[in-house]
C-alpha cells in the first residue's frame, strides 16, 4: 500500500508540472494576437483570428506550435511572409515602400497645388493684362446679366 502511495505521489510530482505546463502554453488570446496580424491567401480579407475555415485553423495551429517553441511574434510573422508573400501581413513591411510612396507624393503635390492656386488667385492683375481685364469686365457684365436673362426665358417658357 505504501508503495502504491509512493508511486502515486511520485507520478503526481513528475506529471503535475508537465500538465500545468501544457495548460500554461500560449492562450488562445496569445495565438489570436498574432493571428490578427495575418490574412490567409485564400479567404477574402478575413483576418486569421476569426476566419472559420479549416485552412485558417491550421495556420492558427502553426502559430500555436511556434509560440510553444518560443518564437517571437515578429519571427512568426516573418515566417508566414516568407512562405506566402507579403500579402498575408495586415501591416505591410517597410520593404513594400511603394505602398507609401504614392500617398506621400499626393500629399506633397496637393500642398503644392493648394499654394499655387491660392497665390495665382490672389495675385493682383498685372498692368499689361489690363486690356484683357477690361474685356473680361465687359464679359462679366454679360455674365451678371445672364441670370436675369435666364429668368426671363424661364418665365417666357412657362407662359408657353
Interface with another protein (CB under 8 A):
27-29, 32, 37, 39, 44-47, 49-53, 57, 85-87, 89-92, 96, 98-100, 102-103, 106-107, 110, 113-114, 117-118, 121-122, 140, 143, 146-147, 150-151, 153-158
Shortest gap between Cβ of 144 and another protein (angstroms)? Answer: 9
Q: What is the DSSP string of 35-102?
A: HTTBB-SSSSS-BTTT--SHHHHHHHHHHHHHHHTT--HHHHHHHHHHHH-GGGBSS--GGGTHHHHH
DSSP 124: P
Shortest gap between Cβ of 127 and another protein (angstroms)? Answer: 16
What cell was used for 54? 479549416
Shortest gap between Cβ of 69 and another protein (angstroms)? Answer: 21
Nearer Cβ to another protein (2/128): 128
Residues, the chain, total?
160
Nearer Cβ to another protein (18/45): 45
Amino acid at each position: 500500500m505504501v508503495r502504491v502511495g509512493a508511486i502515486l505521489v511520485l507520478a503526481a510530482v513528475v506529471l503535475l508540472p508537465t500538465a500545468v505546463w501544457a495548460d500554461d502554453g500560449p492562450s488562445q488570446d496569445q495565438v489570436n494576437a498574432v493571428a490578427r496580424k495575418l490574412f490567409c491567401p485564400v479567404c477574402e480579407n478575413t483576418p486569421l483570428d476569426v476566419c472559420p475555415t479549416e485552412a485558417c485553423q491550421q495556420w492558427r495551429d502553426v502559430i500555436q506550435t511556434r509560440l510553444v517553441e518560443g518564437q517571437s511574434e515578429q519571427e512568426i510573422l516573418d515566417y508566414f511572409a516568407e512562405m506566402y508573400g507579403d500579402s498575408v501581413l495586415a501591416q505591410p513591411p517597410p520593404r513594400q515602400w511603394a505602398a507609401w510612396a504614392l500617398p506621400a507624393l499626393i500629399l506633397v503635390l496637393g500642398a503644392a497645388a493648394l499654394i499655387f492656386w491660392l497665390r495665382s488667385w490672389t495675385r493682383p492683375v498685372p498692368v499689361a493684362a489690363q486690356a484683357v481685364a477690361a474685356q473680361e469686365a465687359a464679359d462679366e457684365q454679360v455674365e451678371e446679366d445672364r441670370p436675369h436673362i435666364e429668368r426671363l426665358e424661364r418665365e417666357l417658357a412657362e407662359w408657353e
